[in-house]
Amino acid sequence: MASLSKHLSPYKPSASNLHQWMLGLMLLSFHGVLLWGFDDPLQKGLLLCHYGLFLIWQPIWQTQEKLSPRAIVLFVAGGALLAWLVSWWMIAIWLSALFGLLGGRIFSSTARASRMSNLLAATYLLSVLLLWVIPNLLDATSALAVSEFLMHYLLPILPLMILFQRVQKETHQHAPILDFFYTLLLFLLSVTLILSIFTIARNSEADYAEVVVWVVFGLAASLLLASWLWNPRAGFSGIGQMLSRYLLSVGLPFERWIQNIAELAERETSAKEFMLAAMSEVETLPWVAGGKWQTDEDDGEFGNQAPYHADLEFHDFQLTLYSRWPLTPALTIHLKLLTQILGEFHEAKRREEALLQNTYMQAIYETGARLTHDMKNIVQSMSALCLAAEQSGEADNERLVALIRRQLPLLNQRLALTLDKLGAPRNENSRMLPVLEWWDNLQQRYTGTRVQFSEHCQHESNQRIDSEVWDSVVDNLLQNALAKAQHESGLIIQAQLNIDSEVFIEVSDSGNPMPEEVAQSLFRKRIRSEGGLGIGLYQAGRQAQQAGYLLGLQENRVGEVRFRLASKPA
């Protein structure tokens, strides 16, 4: 029973079917009015029937919505005026309005059958206008006699084709949009066609058919010329581009205003100063009387208040503009665009300020980390001297005193240079020493430790190195190896100086290698890992790179983890 009731349920036409049927019935009822006249009450009733079908078909108001009392009064008044003031002139204007509405719907429909129905209806209206309505306006009996056969037998076929044409479902869910520009253009063209034919026919003795041909071809030539002027190809920008520029700028050259705002963004350093200067530019607009703006950090006002205003907002930027004239929809869109541009530039300036602040804080952090690193190396060198003093006996007093006399001035000098960096971080004076003298000082600092020193020298070298950088980097490598030896028994630590075609020092140990992910990121970013590897090597790598030296990991395997510090090849 359920399936039987489903098959016997009444057929519910879709919105597309209903719309097409109303269009066909509306044209058929209007055709009856044209053939039978509109003098008798019955004929006026047919005209009101046509008007009712038009209200169901019309594309302006949504038929699903409940009509307000004001809309009901408007519709009833329109029907009364159409019924009691009907004439051939009113019929001609009504046909022009229907032709414009159909033309405004043709390009908004996606279904092919809907477009075909609108084209058939537009063809019918234009044919009826030229063959029947205008001849009745002119009382052209000869033209009416020729058109009578077409009106009775051929033109009614077009509404019947619309009525029985198969309907396809629209691809979109929303109703087709009425193009106001095309509707107005087609309405004006229809009115121009009617008035041109009527005027020429009244003021000349030419035949009606000849007048229609001349007027139609004249309008076609005018439209062809207008289309060429709209988008020409001979160097002229065209009416279309000029109209688009005007609608975009609303009386102000858009490119010039954007250029001024961009120049302000380049010239001003802070977001507040930029916004103050930008508001001065906004105040120069001819339709702006004043306004006020507000962000999360600043606010301000300019100009005077006026009767009309617009409240605009973009992210955290709020702008209120006052105008002496009502704000049209085009002007409102323009204001939203200008607000978005100002908001984007303001946000860019804020990000620029934040980036500068982060850069400044990063410079302070890196300076502090580098000074901490240097201080740690100095403290470790002093600890080595203290360890040597604790382990030396009475027989080594003279050697200990000589070592202290030699190393203390160097440590004092390194400490003074570190404090100078703290007072003026950009003033980094290098301390150049011969490489062999530096090598001798390094061995003396690590006397009594597990570090084994060796050198491979092909010839005497007088090359001078930046002892501050080499001390900092090598001390870091050796201290990391000594810290690693506390966790791995039997670890052998070696430091070898090579003087050949190039001068470099290698620090190696016989312990376990670093993880591969740590080795790949070494010297390039901060790494936290056991054994002291990480931030110290990152700072050492940056210090060596800035001084023009190469620091790298040469080997990373079991039994040999080797680093090298060398001068860059010439």
DSSP one-letter string for 73-120 = HHHHHHHHHHHHS--HHHHHHHHHHHHHHHHHHHTT--SHHHHHHHHH
Place of tokens 């007093």: 397
| Ramachandran category for residue 332: left, alpha or beta (phi over 0 → left; psi -120 to 50 → alpha) | alpha
Other CB atoms closer than 10 Å to residue 107's CB: what's the count?
12
Place of tokens 């306004």: 291
Task: Give me 75's structure tokens.
Answer: 């519709």
- pLDDT the model gives residue 39: 79
Tens digits of pLDDT across the chain (570 residues): 344 344 434 444 556 677 788 888 999 999 999 998 887 888 888 999 999 899 888 876 655 567 778 878 888 888 888 888 889 999 999 999 999 888 877 655 555 667 788 889 999 999 999 999 999 999 888 888 889 999 999 999 999 998 887 765 554 444 456 677 788 888 999 999 999 999 999 888 888 989 999 999 999 898 888 877 776 655 555 666 666 655 555 545 566 777 788 888 888 878 888 888 888 888 877 778 888 888 877 888 888 888 888 888 887 788 888 888 787 776 777 778 888 888 888 888 888 877 877 776 766 666 666 677 667 767 767 776 777 677 677 766 777 677 777 777 767 766 776 666 655 444 444 567 888 888 888 887 777 678 889 888 766 667 888 887 888 888 888 888 888 888 888 888 999 988 877 888 999 998 888 888 777 777 776 665 554 445 677 777 877 888 888 888 888 888 899 999 987 665
CA gap 448, 403 in Å, rounded:
12
- pLDDT the model gives residue 299: 85
3-class state of residue 461 by DSSP: coil
CA gap 248, 570 in Å, rounded:
60
Task: Give me 146's structure tokens.
Answer: 């020729």
Contacts of 204 (CB under 8 A, 6+ apart): 211
| DSSP code at position 530 | G
- pLDDT the model gives residue 133: 93
Instruction: Provide the CB-side half-sphere exposure for 385 (13 A, CA).
Output: 20
Task: Give me 365's structure tokens.
Answer: 């952090």
Other CB atoms closer than 10 Å to residue 445's CB: what's the count?
26
| DSSP code at position 129 | I
CA gap 442, 447 in Å, rounded:
9
Contact 88, 141 (CB under 8 A): no
Q: Is 563 exposed, middle or buried (0-12, 13-18, 19+ CB in 10 A)?
A: buried
- pLDDT the model gives residue 58: 80
Contact 478, 493 (CB under 8 A): yes
Other CB atoms closer than 10 Å to residue 262's CB: what's the count?
12
Contact 238, 230 (CB under 8 A): yes
The pTM for the full model equals: 0.49
CA gap 145, 93 in Å, rounded:
23
CA gap 375, 538 in Å, rounded:
16
Task: Give me 145's structure tokens.
Answer: 């006699």
CA gap 235, 220 in Å, rounded:
25
For the CA atoms of the chain, what is the radius of gyration?
Answer: 46
CA gap 299, 276 in Å, rounded:
9
Contact 251, 284 (CB under 8 A): no
CA gap 477, 470 in Å, rounded:
10
Contact 96, 194 (CB under 8 A): yes
Residue 533's closest CA among 495, 561, 492?
Answer: 561
Strands 290-294 and 503-509: unpaired
Looking at the chain, how many residues does it have? 570
Residue 200's closest CA among 220, 208, 135, 96?
Answer: 208
Helix H or strand E segment including 542? helix 535-547
Over 361-416, what HEC string results? HHHHHHHHHHHHHHHHHHHHHHHHHHHHHHHCCHHHHHHHHHHHHHHHHHHHHHHH
Place of tokens 């209200």: 55
Instruction: Provide the CB-side half-sphere exposure for 329 (13 A, CA).
Output: 0
Break the chain into its structural domains and give their ranges: 13-230, 251-360, 367-567
CA gap 179, 183 in Å, rounded:
6
| Ramachandran category for residue 285: left, alpha or beta (phi over 0 → left; psi -120 to 50 → alpha) | beta
Contact 108, 179 (CB under 8 A): yes
Angle formed by the axes of helices 535-547 and 467-485, to 10°? 160
- pLDDT the model gives residue 366: 66
CA gap 305, 451 in Å, rounded:
81
- Edge to edge, what strands does the sheet with 493-499 contain? 451-457, 493-499, 503-509, 560-567, 549-557
Question: Which CATH fold topology does 367-567 show?
Answer: Heat Shock Protein 90 (3.30.565)
Strands 451-457 and 493-499: parallel
Contact 100, 184 (CB under 8 A): yes
- Please state the φ and ψ torsions of residue 305, each to the nearest 5 degrees: -80, 150
Q: What share of the chain is helix, strand, coil (3-state, %, to 5)?
A: 65, 10, 25
CA gap 86, 47 in Å, rounded:
9
- pLDDT the model gives residue 254: 62
- Please give the distance of CA 198 from its chain centroid, rounded to a whole number: 55
What CA–CA distances, in Å, run from 443 to 205, 481, 486? 124, 16, 21
